[in-house]
Structure 1
Amino acid sequence: MIDIGANLTNQRFHADLDAVLERARQAGVCRIIVTGTSERASTEALALARRYPDYLRCTAGVHPHDASSWNEASAAAIAQLARQPEVVAVGECGLDYNRMFSPEREQLRCFEAQLALAAELQKPVFLHERDAHDAFFALLKQYRPALKGAVVHCFTGTLAQMREYLDLDCHIGITGWVCDERRGDDLREAVKHLPLDRLMIETDAPYLPPRHVRPKPAANRNEPMYLGAVLETVAAIRAQPAPALAAQVRGNTEAFFGLR
């Protein structure tokens, strides 16, 4: 399995990252893509990818929560980071109108700049959307023909929204949200109809630990080693054998990010 999104630069991994990676290997995770969410986090993600060149790759971008930090200097820094061979996508970028940590205008400006950068560099985009589907989709649709690829990370939307992304030839990233019986009904229904060649899986660690794993993760910290719980849940929803699904999803991921 390949975890397409883990926030390994998060301070919750600072004390035991080597152990976290070893547990992931033992659990069958053959590669992890470290998510860049700001200039600092993207710089740290690249450093991790260079520290573990046989196991990690990364993205470089600015999350909508940090869109207010986008300026000429940060844009130049992200562009320089994104040009590095260890960086396999631009992002995490997009729109988040749930908490509005950055104003809408600044989120749109930051998102559009990163879409343009991804088109220029011909690298895929690693996308974030929450409570902003219409504005997000409109801007993505404008740039999609120029993009090498696009994956909607941590998709939690409806079947109708998923079909709109599929119409733009996007991939869909599924996290432990699909394991949450309290709030994942729309997502589980959508997963039933997701074309196999557009499916990828991720943990979004340290966030969104699968609710059903036992023993429960210490301090509720998600880790890449729990990626199998996401895979098994998706396989059960789709009534497919987990090993065959894992092989398909790994192939999708390798092709999308150029990992072969």
Structure 2
Amino acid sequence: MATQQTTTSCSSSSSSYSSTSISSSSAYLLVDSGAALANRKFAKDVDSVIARARDSGVQRIVVRTTNIQSTKDGLRLSRLFPETLVCAAGLSAHESRLWNRETEQQIEDVLRAEECVAIGDCGLDFSRDFSPKDTQLDVLRCLATLADRLTTEGLPRALLVRQNGAHEELVGILREFCSRIPIVVSFRGSEVEAKEYLSFGAFLSISSVKEESIQRLIQTQELPIQRILLMSDSPFQCPNLRSPRIPETARTALTGRSMSFVNRYCTFARNEPCSVSALAELVAGLSGQLAEEVALQTTFNALKVLGLSVK
């Protein structure tokens, strides 16, 4: 296969799952704001994965993507499962080297589909050299510009971003656009970084409470529930509920039902969206709120920032 030339321009679970496996009543109404269901790990049983998610209380899932192929696959899945899935059109930091005018047009075409609600994943990763730093910066700015243009046309699309080793550079770009487009940062970083994102109106999506910085931010309410989105980050980020890094105050909020979903269906090889109910309970334990309140507030946040509806 010929290598595309980069031209920066701004123009394992069983498939026989049944809802009778676990009691079908759920106390929660949840949104998973980030799951890579187009990943090949879900190729054989994505329908069962979605059924488990809905049974656990996850009513909407945003299919995040990282390149043109997964973006197209995410749109296809969203059309196959419109009652649950919406998609994002993404080009990750690692894939930025593949950006060209054709790639830009293909991403824009997906963004104009009614099933698409955001640009993501996108962002900056300066810890590795899969794509040159300058290219990453140019592509992220192009994607933000695209989101801005679509918003002015009446098609608001949020920007779902990640960063690794590039906080200052990311903030520099986001500040240019934060007053015009919704921004969601997939957060794993320091308290100082979190506060800077929050200072210009960004929402933070979290997939774990193992990091001490996240624990302190939630416990002190410096990261209020009103600014949090929950995400499984499936098939990654398996929530090891036995981890000693999870405080006992958080763990005491876990219910047998949510733990059953995690213990039966989520492994280190493949996490699933059904783990979000346990994540909501862990956040509730840290914040001192009821899990139902955390679920409703984070769902409201997702509906607001991503323009979702719950079917």
TM-score by length of 1: 0.93
Instruction: Name the one with the larger helix percent.
Output: 1
- Cα distance, 1:215 vs. partner? 5.1
CA distance in 1, matches of 2:265, 2:285: 21
- Cα distance, 1:97 vs. partner? 1.4
Per the alignment, residue 137 of structure 1 pairs with: 171
1:173-231 CA-to-partner distances (Å, cap 9, x unmatched) read: 0102x1x3xxx111211233212221110000000010115357345310001111211
The 8 Å contact of residues 175 and 204 in structure 1, kept in 2 or not, is answered as yes
Q: Considering only aligned residues, what root-mean-square deviation do their CA atoms show, in Å?
A: 1.3
Give the aligned residue type for 1:94. Answer: G
CA distance in 1, matches of 2:164, 2:129: 10
Match of 2:213 among 165, 186, 192: 186
Per the alignment, residue 114 of structure 2 pairs with: 85
Per the alignment, residue 300 of structure 2 pairs with: 251
The 8 Å contact of residues 91 and 114 in structure 1, kept in 2 or not, is answered as no
Per the alignment, residue 34 of structure 1 pairs with: 63
- Cα distance, 1:101 vs. partner? 1.5
CA distance in 1, matches of 2:214, 2:301: 20
CA distance in 1, matches of 2:147, 2:68: 16
CA distance in 1, matches of 2:193, 2:305: 21
Per the alignment, residue 53 of structure 2 pairs with: 24
Identify the range of structure 1 (92-101 vs 199-208) with the bigger mean alpha-carbon deviation: 92-101
Per the alignment, residue 44 of structure 1 pairs with: 73
Per the alignment, residue 18 of structure 2 pairs with: none
Per the alignment, residue 104 of structure 1 pairs with: 133
Per the alignment, residue 157 of structure 1 pairs with: 189
- Cα distance, 1:99 vs. partner? 2.3
Over the matched positions of the two proteins, sequence identity in percent amounts to 32
Query: What is the total number of aligned residue pairs between the two structures?
Result: 253
CA distance in 2, matches of 1:217, 1:245: 22
Question: Considering only CA atoms, is the larger Rg found in Structure 1 or Structure 2?
Answer: 2
Per the alignment, residue 257 of structure 2 pairs with: none
The 8 Å contact of residues 158 and 190 in structure 1, kept in 2 or not, is answered as no
CA distance in 2, matches of 1:200, 1:92: 15
CA distance in 2, matches of 1:158, 1:232: 23
2:33 counterpart SS class:
strand
The runs of 5 or more residues in structure 2 that have no matched partner are: 1-29, 152-156, 242-261
